[in-house]
């Protein structure tokens, strides 16, 4: 079980929620809209080995990024067919181009 890594992510999330509350957002409406994890430059140290040798001892840190967004109330769909918007009839690109075409001239 990745207990230590889970604890780090849990602390980051609680910190992100606290940041959202300090900015005036409702904590119950927050959700993770973006999460990203990138490799960070390793922290290099040395470890001393037998017979006077030195070995590398590098940590493998990461940059973890969360973006929390507040959920918004959706807009209800208009069922009566009035107003702007698509009529519901599908047309091809060729038909749309033909409708835009203005015929100039005779016959």
Per residue in 62-103, pLDDT tens? 999 999 999 988 777 767 666 566 666 788 999 889 888 887
Q: What is the pLDDT of residue 49?
A: 96
When pLDDT is averaged across residues 18-38 and rounded to a whole number, the result is 94
Average pLDDT, the chain: 88
Share of the chain above pLDDT 70, in %: 88
- 3-class SS of residue 63: strand
Tell me the CA distances in angstroms from 29 to 22, 32, 73, 87, one per residue in order: 14, 10, 10, 34
Q: What is the pLDDT of residue 67?
A: 94
């Amino acid at each position: 079980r990745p207990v230590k890594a889970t604890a780090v992510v849990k602390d980051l999330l609680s910190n992100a929620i606290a940041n959202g509350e300090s900015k005036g957002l409702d904590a119950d409406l927050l959700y993770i809209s973006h999460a990203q994890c990138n490799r960070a430059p390793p922290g290099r140290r040395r470890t001393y080995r037998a017979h006077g040798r030195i070995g590398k001892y590098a940590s493998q840190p990461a940059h973890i990024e969360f973006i929390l967004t507040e959920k918004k109330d959706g807009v209800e769909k208009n069922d009566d067919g009035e107003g702007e918007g698509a009529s519901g009839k599908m047309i091809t690109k060729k038909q749309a181009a033909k409708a835009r075409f203005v015929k100039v001239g005779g016959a």
